[in-house]
Amino acid sequence: MWRSKHGLALVLALGLLLMAVPRLPVALEADADSVFALSWLALALLVIAANWRMVLQGDEERERRSEWERRLRWLEAQRKQRRFETGTRQRRRLFS
C-alpha cells in the first residue's frame, strides 16, 4: 500500500478527514457553512473511495502478474520434463 502514490494519497485524505470532521459545522440547514461542509465531506469521501479502489486494483494486478509468472515457470518445467523423457525414450531404442 505504501509503494504507490495512491496509498499515500489515501492516508493523507483519511488524515485530513479525521482532522476536519470535528471542526466542520455540519447541520441540516441551507446556510452556506453547512452546504460547504457537506460538499467538502462528499468530496473527501470520493477521494478516499477512488484511492482505496486504486490500491486494491494494484494488489490484484500484482497477484495476476505473480500467477502468470508461476504458470510460466510450471510450463517451462513441463517442457524440460518432456524433453528429458523424449531423450530417454530415444536412448532406450538405441540400446535395445
The predicted-structure confidence for 57-84, as pLDDT tens digits, reads as follows 877 777 888 888 999 999 998 888 888 7
- The count of structural domains within the chain is 1
Domain that holds residue 38: 5-95
Q: Can you give the pLDDT at residue 48?
A: 93
Tens of pLDDT along the chain (96 residues) come to 556 788 899 999 999 999 988 888 877 777 888 888 889 999 999 999 999 998 888 777 778 888 889 999 999 988 888 887 776 666 666 565
21's grid cell: 470532521
> How far is 27 from 33, CA to CA, in rounded Å?
9
Which of 1, 17, 18 is closest to 56 using CA atoms? 1
What letters, b where the CB count within 10 A reaches 16 and e where it falls short, cover 25-57?
Answer: eeeeeeeeeeeebeebeeebeebbeebbebbee
Q: Can you give the pLDDT at residue 88?
A: 62
Q: Can you give the pLDDT at residue 45?
A: 93
